[in-house]
Amino acid sequence: MKLDQQWQNKLKERFLTYVKIYSTSDAESDTTPSTPQQWDMAKHLFEEMKQIGLEDVTMDDHGYVFGFIPATVEKEVPQIGFIAHYDSSPDFNGKGVNPQVWENYDGSDLLLNKETGFTLSPEKFKDLAKYEGQTIITTDGTTLLSADDKAGVAEIMTAAEYLIANPDIKHGRISIGFNPDEEIGRGAHKFDVEKFGAEWAYTMDGGEIGELEYENFNAAGAVVKIHGLSVHPGYAFGKMVNAALLAAEFAQSLPENETPATTKGFEGFYHLTDLTADVSEAKLQYIIRDHDADKFEQRKKFITERVEEFNKKYGENTAEIEINEQYRNMKQQFEGKMHIIDFAEQAMKDAGVQPNIKAIRGGTDGAQLSYMGLPCPNIFAGGHYFHGPYEFVPLESMVKASEVILNIAKLVAEK
């Protein structure tokens, strides 16, 4: 199935509307959603889902928005689902997003901001050159774009509206779900799998066109706190314990070649995401990642041992660590269920997209959902260079993602 120009325009305008809605999440918060601004996006989707004709549309007390596309076949067909998250990453400014649309991209540098000279260049960001002749949507250089994952939200909503508007297309009942807080690892924590009702689902939360993923990192977050002793520097000899200096020493104690910038493929890492420090106190926040379960356990043990060594060196209770698991590699949840992947792969081919089956160097809500009884591989949403001002998405990739959704629905009903 192909979306004509009318539907492509709907998809574009929907996406441009979504990214302007401020919805950044916050890992420091203990509420769900973690930020009040996410409610604006949830409420917008709730109303829009009702308006386009989804049935049984609900929004729960935690900002999870569900709706259902009624079946158009009489026979028994597996109920499947499509899921995306509507929060934006807290890694960069997500407020005041001002998207720019570059039609018929000519392959040259894109001057995103005339005042600052901020430029997106294919020389530095080589993926950009792949999309010459296409429509590119970028930031204005002052915010992220939030294509992660509002591109996925827009693709699902457009496909849902298309199916409702074309009841001659044969498909079973389809569950649609949008959730908060994926960017802080909590998107699936309060997802009601039973209410969602699908036998399996797909998250539309991947990167460039063609990506299909059912392997991901095992993931944990670690917080290391270091306690110092502040004394007037004129009288500090033999007394002061500078927590800021100890934090720097601790960071250097982890392997320098096991960071995101020095690893690839199936290699794991320790990633220092935030450091705050003064003489009295310091806090280092890490994410720990590895595809291999045994190596993942070794990584958690290793960083814990570094804390223990610190306390032996500088005194008991100088440092403490808290490790919280975030998600697990979902690969083993697809044993005996590879038809789920096969449907997605064939749907891509039917849309003229070459599947690129790979492991995620990250995670999605689907990883957690797969362990909650809802097998949930990840399909491309089309974006590049997420979580920063260089983020962009080609409209044509988004169109293909929506067509893949339509094709999956059709293929499952035909099986």
pLDDT in tens, 308-362: 999 999 999 999 999 998 888 999 899 899 999 999 999 999 999 999 998 888 7
> Does residue 85 share a domain with residue 205?
yes
pLDDT in tens, 152-162: 999 999 999 99
- Active-site residue, from 48, 148, 161, 182: 182
User: Does residue 361 share a domain with residue 277?
Assistant: no
Among 277, 308, 327, the domain boundary falls at 327
* CA torsion angle 206 211 213 218 (round to 10): -50
Q: Do 70 and 135 reside in the same domain of the chain?
A: yes
pLDDT, position 326: 83
Output the CA torsion sign for 271, 274, 279, 281: negative
CA distance 161 to 18: 16
212 and 109, same domain (yes or no):
yes
Boundaries of domain holding 251: 218-327
Residues found in the chain: 415
Q: 269: domain CATH number?
A: 3.30.70.360
On whether both 111 and 212 belong to a single domain, the answer is yes
Same domain, 296 and 360: no
Q: What does the pLDDT average to over 371-384?
A: 96
Catalytic residue check, 183: no
Indicate if 139 and 163 belong to the same structural domain. Answer: yes
Domain boundary residue, one of 327, 344, 364: 327
Helix ranges (DSSP H) in 23-94: 38-52
Whole-number pLDDT of residue 222: 97
The question of whether 55 is a catalytic residue gets the answer no
Specify whether 247 is located in the same domain as 181.
no
User: Is residue 141 predicted with pLDDT exceeding 90?
Assistant: yes
Name the pTM for this structure. Answer: 0.85
Comparing C-alpha atoms, which of 45, 22, 46 is closest to residue 35? 22
pLDDT at residue 327, as a whole number:
84
Whether residue 174 sits in one domain with residue 66: yes
Choose between 368 and 162: higher pLDDT.
162
Residue 365 confidence (pLDDT): 87
| 392-394: strand order across its sheet | 100-102, 136-138, 392-394
pLDDT digits (tens, 9 = 90+) for 88-107: 999 999 999 999 999 999 99
Same domain for 172 and 279?
Answer: no
Structure confidence by residue, pLDDT tens digits, 197-222 = 999 999 999 999 999 999 999 999 99
Catalytic choice (26, 48, 87, 391): 87
Query: Which secondary structure element, helix H or strand E, spans residue 6, and what is its range?
Result: helix 5-19
pLDDT of residue 341: 97
Give the mean pLDDT of the chain.
96
- Give the whole-number percent of the chain exceeding pLDDT 90: 94
- Judged against a pLDDT cut of 90, whether residue 364 lies above it is answered with no
Mean pLDDT confidence for 72-82: 96
Q: Is it true that the peptide bond before 36 is cis, omega within 30 degrees of 0?
A: no
Same domain, 350 and 304: no
SS3 46: helix
Q: What total of structural domains would you count in the chain?
A: 2
Q: Of 292, 308, 327, which residue is a domain's last? A: 327
CATH number for the domain that contains residue 190: 3.40.630.10
Residue 126 contacts residue 390 (beta carbons within 8 Å): no
Name the helix (H) or strand (E) containing 215. strand 211-215
Do residues 212 and 222 share a domain? no
Rounded to whole angstroms, the Cα distance separating 198 from 376 reads 10
Confidence of residue 71 (pLDDT cuts 50, 70, 90): very high
Banded pLDDT at 415 (limits 50, 70, 90): confident
- pLDDT digits over 245-276, tens only? 999 999 999 999 999 999 998 999 999 999 99
- The reported pLDDT for the residue numbered 346 is 98
